[in-house]
Every structure is written in C-alpha cells, then in structure tokens.
Structure 1
C-alpha cells in the first residue's frame, strides 16, 4: 500500500530556530558604498546538521569536516551530547569528531532545554528508534515564514512501524517491534520529509521506496554520507529513491558540501551595492540556476577552481523569477535578490511558490524607499513554468528606487540578511535589530562584513 504524506507547507526542510538569545544584538550600518573583498564559505547549514544526526546511526565514530561555526550547529551538538554522544573538535578548524557508542536516552526536560525553538529534534527520531527503541520530540518552533506541520514526519515514522504517543510536553515515539521498510510517495518534493525517510530507512528491515523525493545537492550529500556508513541507496529517474535496509552502519569521514545559500547571499550583496566579492568555496554546478538569473539581472561572474567572483556588469535589468524545489530557483535565494532588484531599471516579478508568508520582509524594504507590491494570491502571468500553488505569493518590484536608512527588525534568517544588504546599499544610517538570527546560517558574519569593507558597528 502506498502512503501519501502531506507536506505542502514544509518543503525545504530548513529546521529554523528563533534567536531568542540574540534579540539584543543591534547593528548600526552606514550604507552607500560598494562591498569589495573576499569571503570564505564553509559547509552548508542544511547538510552539516543532518550529517551530525546521521552519526547516531554508526557503530563507530564519525568525522565531519568544514562544519560552519553557526548557532544551528551548536544546537545539534548540544542535543547529541545530551544523548551521550561524545563530540570533540578536531585539529583541523571546522572538524567535529562524533562518537555515538555511549548514546543513551535523554530526559524530556534536557531535550527541551537544549533544543530551544529548534525543529531539528524531529530528525533524531529514526536514528534514536534504531539505537534506543524510543525518542522524544518537544514542542517545535521555527521562523515565521509559514506553517510547518510535523504530521508528515509522524506519518512516515508510523509507516515504518513506530508508535506515536502525544503528551502535554511533546511527542514520545517507540518501536517495540523495530522498524521495517515502507512504500511512500510525497505529494511535494520535501527536503525535510526526504531526510526523515533516508535517516529512518537505512537501518529498517527490508526495502523502502520513496517517490517524489527531494533531490537538492544537500540531499545528495547526505546520501553520500550514508553510503560511506554502509547504506545501500540508489536514485532512479523521476525522483525515486530506493533504500535497502542494512543491520548495521559504521562511522564516516566526510567533508560538507559548500553552503550555496550563503554564496548566493554574498553574490546579491555585490549586485545590490555595485560591489565586487570573491566567494571562496562556491562551485558552479550547484549554483547553475542562480548564476543564470544573476547574469540576466545584469550581474557578472568569473568561475575559478577555488570559488566564484561576483560583481555588477552593466546596469541592472528586471527579471521574472519563480522559486521552486531543486533544480529550480531556491526560495532562500529570492530574498537577497529582491534587494538588488530594487535597483533594476523596470519591473521585476518574483513568484514565491515554496512558502506562504515569505514575502512579508518586503514591508521593511518599502520603508527604506523600495516600491514593492505583494500579491497575496500570486499572479497568473504568461511564461510561467512552475505549477501554481494555493499558498503562493508574488512580489512586483518597480525600480530603480533610491534606498535610504531606516530602523528595521530582523524577522528570520534570509530576510534578516536581506535587511543588512539593503542597509549597506542605502544612503545614510540604518539600525538593524535582532541581528543574532543571522548567525544561525552565516558563520563569522561580522568578520565577513568587515572583510568586504562594510561600514558598521555593533551598538547593542
């Protein structure tokens, strides 16, 4: 029997947290100058945290390299340590040694305390059910960019044979008879659902067939991690993944794929400020779709063996963009791009088809002088290629419009970075509050701003 899992509102699998610890972090930014310099991009947030969870599946220690020093990694590290996993820093910067051989069940209160508002504990369930026979999920948080229900995760786990018990403090799962293979089809190619199935199926008895799976580069890198551990995973055409369960897995030694979201963010900063930024570690293949749009919008880039140089070419031109799952244009790329498009000559349209409510950040850009109209039901326009969805929105950006300084509050990770870009492109001084959220996905953020010549100071 084929099981359909509903995940229309949670396709990216980005297990985001609210930066409650950093709400007092405030930047004063003086804009109006091009950003020029070099930034080094390390491993992807959306792979590193999942690979850390995968280490729970091994019967020996794992080594993960190029791990970014960001708050999401710290959350996962503390959760692993709460379960008895030994996590040590390696001699090479950005290297973690993860030893799960003394893993134990953690108390609910301890999981809740370490997780905070993180959504990552949901991905611990499959590995913990294999390892310990039980798991606990506290109430989950996340950035306010749309509903992100966990029902599809629970449905998948039930399909593997897990027993789900809802408690006032969260959800307890058990697997009294172990986990078995399943036949699952996703109605949407969800990254989160695909990760859940992969992390659960690799040690389940029998074969799991996952249809309409996500195929993002980070998913492929996670599959590479699991294969190094001894998993048997094959990918077939039309988004079908087959996983043959194995009785045991070993540790891995793996270097994370680069963070293409951070690379695109710095590229958009160069475009918006008429700057010139070399992003070390960025690769062409994983950014193919972004690079096409970047060029259409008037950007120029040079691809080298060790990174990509981004700068503005001619005058910025308007573009029409539709976000989509890979290999489409990522939803995480549209927010920084919109800032640059405020300086394009003409009318640009960005169709957001992945998340509802992800264009709310544009209100602050309008406060800074942009001319952006958000259409809550999206727009039916000629030339569209991505299937329309009930939750979609569209932003119409009229430009060029000079930006000026303002007082803004960071709402979420990518929107927050976009506010910083806007402040750096604007004339005058801006105050950007709640900047700590940006540390969730951008390693050494202040140091990198300094490296490209940003004029800023921390005021709170």
Structure 2
C-alpha cells in the first residue's frame, strides 16, 4: 500500500454553498470485497463488474495476490478479473503488513481452508465505532470442524486436518460478518449447514447470488435461517454488483444538509426504502428514476424525526451519521437510538464544536430491544435545531463519521480543515471529484 502524503490528507472546505448536480454511485463496498474473497473458492476465473475504485478493493486485491491469485483491476470500467487457479499460503510477514488496514482477512479463512487446509489471519483493523468481535467467526469455524490457534504471536492460525463438515449454527445477533463467514466456509463443507439468526442485508443476498452462480446450494427462509448444502466443487462467476446504498444515502443527506439538489445515478430504491421514508419525514424530497434517485431540499424548515438503527430491513446504522448532520438543521428535537454499535456517537463532538446542540445518553431512547441497555455506553442522541454551523478544524474518526464531518463542513459558514480524509477513500469512490462536480468549494 502506498503511504499517504500528509498534505494530501487534508481537505480545505469553504462551506455555505448548496451541493447541486449529478454524481454516480457504483458497487457496494460491503459486498464487492466479499465477492472478491468468494472467488478464492473456485480454481478458475471470476469477473466482477460495477466495482468502485476504493481503498478496500485495493486491500483485498493485495491480499489475494499475496496468496498467489492473479487480480486484474480496470478502475475506469469498474471490472475486476480474478484468476484463482493457483492458490498458495502467503508469507506470514507479508500478510502482517496489511494488519490493521481491513477486517476482510478473517473472511479468507473458509476459502483457504478448503483450498490449502490452513489459513493465517493477522490482527484486524477497521473503524473504531464499537465492539466488532471475531468470536462469532471463530466459533463458526470451530463448529464446522476447524482448529483455531489464537496463541500464534503474529495472529491466528487456523487448520482443518479433517476438512470442514456441516453443522447447526446459531448467531445470538444477526452479525453480517459472521453470516458471510458461514456462507464462505459452508458451501464446500461436507454435509448440510443450518444457520439461524442470520443477517439478511441486500449485500448478503447478493453474495448468496454469487455463490449460487458458482454452483452452491443455498436457501434463505423468512425466519432468518439460511440452509447450505455442501457441494464438492465450485466454478468461477460473472456478476454485476448491487449499488452502494450507504454512499447513495450519504449524498442524499448532503443534499439535505446543504439545501442542495443531487441526482445520484445508480441509487436503487428497493434497497433504500427505509431510508427514503425517513428522508421524506424530515422534509426532504426525492424522485425515483430508472437510472437513479434525485434528492433535494425543497425549502422551508426541516422537521424533527426519531429513528432507531437496526439490522435489515430496519434503519441502517451507516445511514444515521450523515443524517444527524441534517438533523442539526431541523426545527425541534430529533432522537437517534443506536442499537448496532455502542460507540458510534463519538463523531458528534466536532459537530458540537461547530455549533450543533447534541446531547448523548446512556439510556435507550427508543422502543426496540437493545443490547446496550443498562450498560455504560452513550448510544442515544438528542439533537436540537436548527443551529447554525461554523467551520472548524476536524480530524476524521472513521469512515462514515468522516463523511459526516465533511457534510458538516460543507453546510457550515466559513472555512474548515478536514484532516485524515484518506480514511474516507475506504468507502467513497472519487469523493473529491464528486464534490467538485457538485459545486463544492474545496482545495
């Protein structure tokens, strides 16, 4: 990975201008990287289309190459070609150089166990938004017959001396990562696997579609139970990624916060219906077209809303941070109850410094059953508005929080310096060029 130039990692923003124009959103960050890992399961060529040029794609490409896989990325066309005919165990030191860059390496476990009989997983990184334990992943692998050595000084060594075998697995919480782990590990396991309490996000269903194209036998029931009947071999796939519903909603929130008008080409209504309902309640307008969705602020006062994040089909946790910026401009009291990540409201401190009125609470300010009840986490927020925002120096804390700070800087009066913007490259393709296209005053 190329080191980030500190000077290039700062964005100078002069806010107060509505964002207007058209931008294009390509494939979902939370799907594309997993589909690339799935290519490891088959000795052959897989082709993935509608791939965004983001940091996570670079990380997975590098990890695959370390394991002897050929990866050809055509960023302008949005096509990635993966030839996993030859797979080899990567050098521990080489894998460790990517430690902390991504949480994707844990998903290499199942495919590598099937292809090589062992896998090495380095220490894992990702955004600091709350507990994201890999215990679910490791327990799933153990139930399928893997042996996990967590005492390895450089990471985790996993073996499957007798191969993987089907099992009954229950997730106490519908974890997206653990569901993906089960799918990738069980499709070639001997016998049948039943996964109850599974996540069913659109990105999960697109991964199921990819695996089915490869020859997997997978059924998904309405009660969050996924049944996988192991097959002896898989083949390469050709697939076009679903669009990124998180990026689309982020730009929609930017239109709302800046009194703008943005056409998001590629935005897909069925995957965003819960967000669209809230967007309309707060006072935003949208128009669904064949090739995307137009989002705009119609003028007048925005209305306060109360939302609770939840697993699909609930209000997505990654949608709430950008929308909170727009909530600071709504007339009245808005409430957000975060039930997915316990530390997601750390991003609000810079918003308060910019002039927002936001109070955090440890209590559950909502009706949903919450894992964080009576625990020492500030996981509810009350936002009072409208409050004018003033430009400030801001340090990007995480991917979604960072984009939210960028929206706040664009909505604020005066200049802001946003530091650490390279983190936003993990999930927002060409966001600087898109901001320029929308008329933002950035340098």
Return the TM-score normalized by structure 1.
Answer: 0.93
Deviation at 1:124, TM superposition (A): 0.1
4+ residue runs of structure 1 moved beyond 4 angstroms? none
Structure 2 residue corresponding to 1:376, chosen from 334, 348, 362: 362
Structure 2 residue corresponding to 1:328, chosen from 311, 314, 318: 314
Structure 2 residue corresponding to 1:154, chosen from 138, 141, 147: 138
Structure 1 residues 46-74: Cα deviation after superposition (integer angstroms, max 9, x where no partner): 00000000000012210000111001110
Structure 2 residue corresponding to 1:176, chosen from 143, 148, 161: 161
Could you say if the C-alpha distance between residues 394 and 22 of structure 1 is closer, same or farther in structure 2, counting changes exceeding 3 Å?
A: farther
- Contact 1:119 1:142 (8 Å CA) reproduced: yes
| Aligned equivalent of 2:402 | 416
- Contact 2:69 2:83 (8 Å CA) reproduced: yes
- Contact 2:99 2:125 (8 Å CA) reproduced: no
| Aligned equivalent of 1:302 | 287
- Contact 1:59 1:248 (8 Å CA) reproduced: no
- Contact 1:63 1:95 (8 Å CA) reproduced: yes
| Aligned equivalent of 1:3 | none
Deviation at 1:88, TM superposition (A): 1.2
| Aligned equivalent of 1:241 | 226
The more displaced of 101-110 and 270-279 is 101-110
- Contact 1:23 1:435 (8 Å CA) reproduced: no
Aligned: 1:387 with 2:369: yes
| Aligned equivalent of 2:341 | 355
Distance 2:336 2:22 in 1: 29
Deviation at 1:22, TM superposition (A): 6.2
Deviation at 1:392, TM superposition (A): 6.6
Distance 1:212 1:447 in 2: 41
| Aligned equivalent of 2:10 | 26
Distance 1:310 1:327 in 2: 21
Could you say if the C-alpha distance between residues 23 and 321 of structure 1 is closer, same or farther in structure 2, counting changes exceeding 3 Å?
A: farther
The 5 A counterparts of 1:42-441 are 42-90=26-74, 93-166=77-150, 167-313=152-298, 314-379=300-365, 381=366, 384=367, 386-390=368-372, 393-441=379-427
Q: Specify which structure has the bigger relative contact order, considering alpha-carbon pairs within 8 angstroms and separated by 6 or more residues.
A: 1
Deviation at 1:29, TM superposition (A): 0.5
- Contact 1:181 1:245 (8 Å CA) reproduced: yes
Distance 2:139 2:335 in 1: 37
For these two proteins, the number of residue pairs brought into alignment is 436
- Helix, strand or coil at the partner of 2:315: coil
Could you say if the C-alpha distance between residues 275 and 211 of structure 1 is closer, same or farther in structure 2, counting changes exceeding 3 Å?
A: same
Return the TM-score normalized by structure 2.
Answer: 0.96
Could you say if the C-alpha distance between residues 419 and 22 of structure 1 is closer, same or farther in structure 2, counting changes exceeding 3 Å?
A: farther
Unaligned runs of 5+ in 2: none
Distance 1:76 1:355 in 2: 24
Distance 1:440 1:427 in 2: 28
Distance 2:427 2:201 in 1: 18
Distance 2:390 2:165 in 1: 58
| Aligned equivalent of 1:13 | none
Structure 1 residues 248-276: Cα deviation after superposition (integer angstroms, max 9, x where no partner): 00000000010000000000000000000
Distance 1:235 1:27 in 2: 44
Could you say if the C-alpha distance between residues 23 and 393 of structure 1 is closer, same or farther in structure 2, counting changes exceeding 3 Å?
A: farther
Deviation at 1:148, TM superposition (A): 1.6
Deviation at 1:439, TM superposition (A): 0.4
Distance 1:440 1:339 in 2: 21
Structure 1 residues 232-251: Cα deviation after superposition (integer angstroms, max 9, x where no partner): 00011210100000000000
Structure 2 residue corresponding to 1:40, chosen from 12, 24, 32: 24
